[in-house]
């Protein structure tokens, strides 16, 4: 029996191996298949040269073999060494009948080689239960990255992600040869790193809602929500990342995005009477005053501590989306402008950047900045510019001679939704993994290319907090397989042809991600309806499930379905924790747009009147935030018959600018109203109403929402199918 199992495993390994070898993500520079195989046995040893013990440990975490230091003999082993003739991140990986050798230009190169070896092994190396013996086809790989900066930015402010969550994210980035994690540690909604010289920054600013001076913004309104990393946590994260060839770049986002800091330390704001109070009493000013010397002293304390905590040569000081309106009204900023001979308030941002960059340099680091801060001439040459607004913004920074990280939102913001029917932002674009994979540097001149440090993608987390309780992790759904595409572009310097790349995903990488425990996004199944028969198919070996309107539960799809009502069916696919969005005939997802009149106890905003919401598709506002007892009323010209009617206050993508609490009422005659549900994330719905609905009212029961208006949306009306 034992022999049979061995034999079966060997045959299976062999069959699948032929395709594994070519399914490496990102594509290695040079791969040559050789004759023969090498079998890793339970007795195979990981032999490392001196000083490479931690690389051996890392490999052994996935491939539980005995480790020993090289002592002259290594036949039949997996040998880890460095080779001075290779560049730092370069590696050679050789598999022959005699054994496996990985040579790296340094421990970093060796790490890259180990990641490639893991991809050549059964995907269970990622779930910690790889079965040995494992047979590998002989090959020779020579590989090195096109870019030295291959990054990902994680916003841990809008949604708090604890140490363990970040470490797990890091471990998965490492499997994709991403070597920088840009940690967005401060923003309007949270301060996430302990500062010992100013403990209140994190102790108070790390939390929002309830008794915190920081307003809750996107969810968990009735919680004291948040958290922060202690110095000890940061050291642990930094070390964990370093073992995986990942450098962590900390970001403090200033002088804009400082609402949090300003709530904790109001004195950082400009010196004028706040005219910008939200109707629930919050001071909405959020830009640090440029003219206050104390502000630079505070920042010096922060930067000093960050410089000690993070070994990275960079400290990112933000600089995006800075509004100058507060500086324009501040007598101190105005006096500073006169003293410095500035003609535009915008120049105050350059002044701020220059001052803070000098502090960063004083502590032996270079500043990282968002591209807006590179517009003037405030940056020292050693600065690293992050181009997020557009491809052009990236090119402009390189033309100025700045080392630039390319991350235009329309290709690399993975908080964007992946199709019209999915969730997330859409201000930059709506795109799936094909888009980042299609990124190329065609528009860049050689001169500009010389300044490209690399490529980065990001996940901003405003839309995440209200989705934390999903039965899958929305962070991973949004970021994979888009990170696989990022990895290809960042490592190879160009994308790949989609069909070829998708084949690698389907044949091998999906099962690796399943083993990594990643709740990634699958592509939707293809659905067809012809001659009364509904068929669904998928090409990725995932399972297809379907739901029928009005019926409970999900069923496994095994054969075509004969039906006169295809519009009642929605299909999706699943594989491990991964799933696809729903697909079906177009009618299944259609909406009604009955004529409606919107009125409210709150007057409308002059700029964005809610009477416009009638136009279906626009976002409109009230003139102040909601108070207990306020209401918004939707009256239909003609009573509507529907299977579901949903109303939401706040933005479409995230529960911001909502009625924080309240309920929904419906009326069938336009006069008497019946309460049908509580607001959740600003919205509520009625399913299968028995009669046509004439009017819907949402009533507010909690004053305030941290802003000075409520967003009003058109009602969502779903037809009876």
Cβ(665)–Cβ(696) below 8 Å? yes
Q: How many residues bind ligand TNX (CB under 6 A)?
A: 9
Q: Does 147 bind ligand TNX (CB under 6 A)?
A: no
Nearer to ligand TNX, 321 or 340 (CB): 321
Q: Which of 425, 512, 521, 697 binds ligand TNX (CB under 6 A)?
A: 425
Q: Does 222 bind ligand TNX (CB under 6 A)?
A: no
> At closest approach, how far in Å is the CB of 379 from ligand TNX?
16
Cβ(126)–Cβ(509) below 8 Å? no
Binding string, 307-326, against ligand TNX, x = CB under 6 A? -------------xx-----
Long-range interactions of 396-404: CB distance < 8 A, separation 24+: 396/371, 397/371, 397/451, 398/444, 398/447, 398/448, 398/449, 398/450, 398/451, 398/452, 399/447, 399/448, 400/374, 401/451, 402/374, 402/451, 403/451, 403/453, 404/451, 404/452, 404/453
Closest by Cα among 564, 573, 579, 481 to 527: 573
Nearer to ligand TNX, 141 or 254 (CB): 254
Return the half-sphere exposure (C-beta side, CA atoms, 13 A cut-off) of residue 305: 19
Sheet holding 561-562, edge to edge: 526-530, 533-537, 561-562
> At closest approach, how far in Å is the CB of 271 from ligand TNX?
26
Q: Strand runs (DSSP E) across 213-346, as ranges?
A: 225-226, 247-254, 314-318
> At closest approach, how far in Å is the CB of 327 from ligand TNX?
19
Cβ(535)–Cβ(560) below 8 Å? yes
> At closest approach, how far in Å is the CB of 679 from ligand TNX?
24
Sheet holding 644-648, edge to edge: 683-687, 644-648, 716-718
10 Å Cβ neighbour count for 7?
A: 10
Instruction: Name residue, tokens 């495993």.
Output: 9
Nearer to ligand TNX, 142 or 320 (CB): 320
**H or E element in which residue 15 lies:** helix 2-20
> At closest approach, how far in Å is the CB of 535 from ligand TNX?
38
10 Å Cβ neighbour count for 603?
A: 11
10 Å Cβ neighbour count for 591?
A: 14
> At closest approach, how far in Å is the CB of 370 from ligand TNX?
5
> At closest approach, how far in Å is the CB of 353 from ligand TNX?
14
> At closest approach, how far in Å is the CB of 225 from ligand TNX?
17
Q: Which of residues 365-394 bind ligand TNX (CB under 6 A)?
A: 370, 388
Nearer to ligand TNX, 468 or 548 (CB): 468
CA distance 309 to 238: 9
Query: What is the residue-wise DSSP string for 605-648?
Result: PSSSBGGGGGGSS--EEBSS---TT-EEEEEEEEEE--SEEEEE
Nearer to ligand TNX, 189 or 604 (CB): 189
Give helix 2-20 / helix 107-120 axis angle, nearest 10°: 120
Nearer to ligand TNX, 388 or 546 (CB): 388
Q: Which of residues 676-695 bind ligand TNX (CB under 6 A)?
A: none
> At closest approach, how far in Å is the CB of 459 from ligand TNX?
9
Closest by Cα among 261, 268, 288 to 200: 261
Nearer to ligand TNX, 376 or 517 (CB): 376
Q: Does 415 bind ligand TNX (CB under 6 A)?
A: yes
| 702: helix, strand or coil | coil
Cβ(573)–Cβ(525) below 8 Å? yes
Sign of CA dihedral 117, 121, 123, 126: negative
Nearer to ligand TNX, 388 or 431 (CB): 388
Cβ(643)–Cβ(688) below 8 Å? yes
Tokens of 156: 């841990």
37 - beta bridge partners? Answer: 137
Nearer to ligand TNX, 188 or 300 (CB): 188
Nearer to ligand TNX, 194 or 462 (CB): 462
> At closest approach, how far in Å is the CB of 260 from ligand TNX?
13
> At closest approach, how far in Å is the CB of 368 from ligand TNX?
12
Sequence-distant (6+) residues with CB within 8 A of 559 are none
Nearer to ligand TNX, 44 or 651 (CB): 651
Angstrom CA distances, 31 to 88, 108, 143, 182, 491, stand at 19, 20, 8, 31, 15
> At closest approach, how far in Å is the CB of 184 from ligand TNX?
8
> At closest approach, how far in Å is the CB of 211 from ligand TNX?
26
| 297: helix, strand or coil | helix
> At closest approach, how far in Å is the CB of 153 from ligand TNX?
8
> At closest approach, how far in Å is the CB of 320 from ligand TNX?
3
454 - beta bridge partners? Answer: 149, 405
Nearer to ligand TNX, 153 or 496 (CB): 153
571 - beta bridge partners? Answer: 546, 583
Nearer to ligand TNX, 236 or 320 (CB): 320
Cβ(62)–Cβ(93) below 8 Å? no
Each residue of 260-286: b (16+ CB within 10 Å) or e? bbbbbbeebbbebeeebebbbebbbbb
Nearer to ligand TNX, 482 or 506 (CB): 482
CA distance 121 to 64: 13
Q: Which of residues 4-43 bind ligand TNX (CB under 6 A)?
A: none
Nearer to ligand TNX, 38 or 460 (CB): 460
Tokens of 273: 């009477």
Q: Does 412 bind ligand TNX (CB under 6 A)?
A: no
CA distance 86 to 105: 4
Q: Which of residues 457-486 bind ligand TNX (CB under 6 A)?
A: 460, 462
> At closest approach, how far in Å is the CB of 460 from ligand TNX?
3
> At closest approach, how far in Å is the CB of 130 from ligand TNX?
38
Cβ(571)–Cβ(527) below 8 Å? yes
Nearer to ligand TNX, 460 or 657 (CB): 460
Tokens of 634: 């939707």
> At closest approach, how far in Å is the CB of 604 from ligand TNX?
26
Nearer to ligand TNX, 328 or 410 (CB): 410
Q: Does 413 bind ligand TNX (CB under 6 A)?
A: yes
Binding string, 326-365, against ligand TNX, x = CB under 6 A? ----------------------------------------
Nearer to ligand TNX, 160 or 546 (CB): 160
The residues of the shown chain that bind ligand TNX, judged by CB under 6 A, are: 320-321, 370, 388, 413, 415, 425, 460, 462
């Amino acid at each position: 029996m034992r022999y049979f199992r061995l034999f079966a495993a060997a045959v299976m390994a062999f069959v699948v191996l032929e395709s594994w070898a070519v399914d490496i993500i990102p594509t290695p520079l040079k791969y040559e298949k050789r004759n023969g195989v090498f079998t890793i046995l339970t007795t195979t040893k990981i032999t490392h040269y001196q000083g490479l013990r931690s690389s051996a440990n890392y490999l052994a975490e996935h491939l539980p073999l005995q480790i020993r230091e090289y002592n002259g003999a290594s036949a039949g082993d997996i040998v880890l060494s460095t080779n001075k003739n290779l560049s730092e991140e370069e590696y050679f990986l050789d598999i022959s009948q005699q054994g496996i050798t990985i040579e790296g230009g340094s421990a970093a190169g060796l790490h890259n080689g180990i990641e490639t070896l893991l991809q050549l092994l059964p995907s269970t190396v990622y779930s910690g239960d790889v079965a040995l013996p494992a047979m590998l086809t002989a090959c020779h790989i020579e590989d090195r990255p096109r870019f030295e900066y291959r990054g990902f930015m994680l916003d841990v402010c809008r949604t708090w992600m604890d140490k363990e969550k970040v470490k797990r994210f890091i471990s998965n980035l490492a499997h994709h040869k991403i070597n920088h994690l840009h940690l967005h540690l401060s923003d309007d909604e949270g301060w996430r790193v302990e500062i010992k010289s100013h403990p209140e920054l994190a102790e108070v600013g790390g939390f929002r809602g309830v008794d915190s001076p920081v307003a809750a913004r996107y969810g968990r309104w009735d919680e004291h929500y948040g958290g922060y990393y202690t110095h000890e946590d940061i050291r642990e994260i930094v070390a964990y990342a370093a073992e995986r060839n990942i450098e962590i770049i900390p970001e403090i986002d200033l002088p804009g995005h400082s609402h949090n800091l300003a709530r904790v330390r109001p004195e950082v704001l400009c010196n004028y009477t706040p005219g910008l109070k939200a109707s629930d009493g919050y001071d909405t000013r959020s830009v640090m005053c440029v003219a206050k010397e104390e502000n630079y002293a505070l920042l010096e304390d922060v930067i000093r501590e960050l410089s000690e905590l993070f070994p990275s040569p960079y400290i990112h000081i933000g600089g995006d989306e800075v509004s100058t309106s507060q500086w324009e009204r501040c007598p101190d900023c105005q006096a500073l402008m006169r003293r410095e001979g500035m003609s535009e308030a915008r120049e105050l941002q350059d002044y701020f950047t220059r001052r803070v960059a000098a502090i960063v340099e004083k502590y032996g680091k270079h500043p990282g900045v968002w591209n807006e801060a590179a517009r003037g001439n405030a940056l020292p040459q050693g600065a690293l510019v992050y181009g997020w607004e557009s491809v052009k913004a990236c090119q402009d920074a390189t033309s100025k001679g700045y080392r630039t990280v390319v991350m235009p939102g329309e290709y690399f913001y993975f908080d964007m939704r992946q199709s019209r029917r999915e969730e997330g932002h859409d201000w930059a674009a709506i795109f799936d993994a094909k888009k980042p994979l299609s990124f190329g540097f065609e528009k860049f001149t050689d001169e500009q290319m010389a300044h490209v440090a690399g490529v980065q993608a990001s996940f901003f987390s405003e839309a995440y907090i209200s989705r934390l309780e999903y039965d899958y992790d929305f962070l991973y759904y949004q970021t994979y397989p888009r990170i696989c595409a990022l990895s290809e572009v960042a490592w190879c310097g160009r994308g790949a042809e989609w069909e070829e790349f998708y084949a690698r995903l389907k044949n091998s990488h999906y099962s690796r991600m399943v083993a990594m425990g990643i709740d990634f996004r699958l592509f939707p199944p293809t659905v067809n309806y012809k001659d009364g028969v509904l068929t669904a198919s998928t090409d990725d070996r995932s399972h297809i499930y379907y739901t029928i309107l009005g019926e409970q539960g999900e069923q496994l799809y095994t054969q075509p379905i004969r039906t006169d009502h295809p519009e009642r069916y929605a299909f999706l696919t699943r594989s491990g924790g991964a799933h696809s969005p729903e697909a079906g005939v177009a009618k299944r997802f259609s909406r009604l747009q009955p004529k409606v009149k919107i009125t409210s106890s709150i007057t409308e905003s002059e700029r964005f009147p809610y009477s416009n919401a009638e136009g279906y598709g626009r976002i409109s506002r009230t003139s102040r935030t909601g108070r207990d007892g306020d209401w918004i009323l939707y009256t239909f010209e003609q009573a509507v018959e529907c299977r579901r009617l949903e109303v939401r206050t706040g933005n479409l993508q995230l529960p911001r600018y909502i009625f924080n609490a309240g309920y929904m009422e419906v009326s069938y005659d336009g006069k008497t109203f019946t309460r049908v549900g509580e607001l959740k994330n600003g919205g509520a719905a009625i399913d299968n109403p028995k009669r046509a609905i004439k009017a819907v009212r949402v009533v507010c029961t909690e004053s305030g929402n941290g802003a000075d208006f409520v967003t009003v949306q058109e009602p969502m009306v779903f037809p009876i199918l």
